[in-house]
Amino acid sequence: MKRFQHAFSPVAFKSLTLAVMFALPTAVVAHNHSKAEDDQRYALPKSATAQDFIAIFKEINGEHPGIRKAHARGVCAVGAFTPSTAAKQRFTSPLFQVDNAPLTLRFSMGGGTPNADERRGARGVGIQFELPNNQSHTIAGITSPVFSGATPNHFLGLLQWNLKMMRGEATREDVQKFMAAHPSMQPAIEWNRGRTASAEYTSATYYGIHAFWANTQGDAQKFRWQLVPQAGEKNLTKQQVESGPQSFLTERLIEQVKNDGAVTFDWHWTIGAADDPTNDPSAQWPADREQVHVGTITVTSAGGEACTPINFDPVRVARGIRPSDDPVLPIRSAAYAISFGQRLSNQ
């Protein structure tokens, strides 16, 4: 039971998928139920609200008063953002009109427990950009380019089946069949098959899995973003996953920044074509889409509590940028707000 409890920790609408993919095989086991029975049994929940997610996060992870309900384990950092010339010339948002905008960052582990095993699972990052006139811009990403399904209902259904399994009310086969019944869950399975976790917070590429719109000098363009470490990606070896320490990411980040002075990421935006979906975070856009290097994000120190009072809600964007019609975004924003309020009141 403990193994499953760890493997299926929820993670702010994203990272739980990664734990699931690491833990479960993807082949569908033969069964004797009729197709009609399976269609009904493994159907998506009819609704999914922010309160539903907060409630099931607590059921899976337990009570941790004053702690974030997802991505509970993490470390604060600060730094600066320098926009590229290309971004300044192309996009009208004030995000790109100021050099060296101050940043507050939080690197984190997926899952709702503050003692998550750092050898496994997704990493996350939240960044708040401080802009003139009391404006700000917020992004949040994880180390997977796709969400666990096309809608919040997919993720809620996955959580519900994981909770049933933890209680002994369902089996791995049930979780397996639920995922197999919904094609939009397959891209996340494929992406995570055989992958190990990043060796450091700063040796991973982070993806903003949702689409947004940005104003240009002429019209608005859809985009998704990636944050790529300039030093390159580095993952744990299988031996490190099996026998390495369970806690190391915070120490490595603090040591790395201290020794190197700074760590830098390149921020890239993928510009979508007319037929690229904005309402399905489980569907990757084609690899040949235009890439725009919009700037560099530099981490200059780590540790402390600078990120503690921040709600890294990716819907809170600067002027000239707006969220898309992705159905996960409004539910995610509402769940973040509930979690933030509970955290500040030590719930």
CB 111, CB 10: distance < 8 Å: yes
Provide the Cα torsion 18, 19, 23, 28; round to 10°: -50
Q: Residue 145: count other Cβ atoms within 10 Å of its Cβ.
A: 21
CB 260, CB 302: distance < 8 Å: no
Residue where the block lists tokens 């809170």: 316
Q: Residue 22: count other Cβ atoms within 10 Å of its Cβ.
A: 18
Provide the Cα torsion 277, 209, 314, 257; round to 10°: -150
Residue of 6, 31, 33, 71 with catalytic role:
71
CB 238, CB 256: distance < 8 Å: no
Between CA 87 and CA 95 the distance in angstroms is 9
Active site residue 64: no
Which are the catalytic amino acids?
Answer: 71
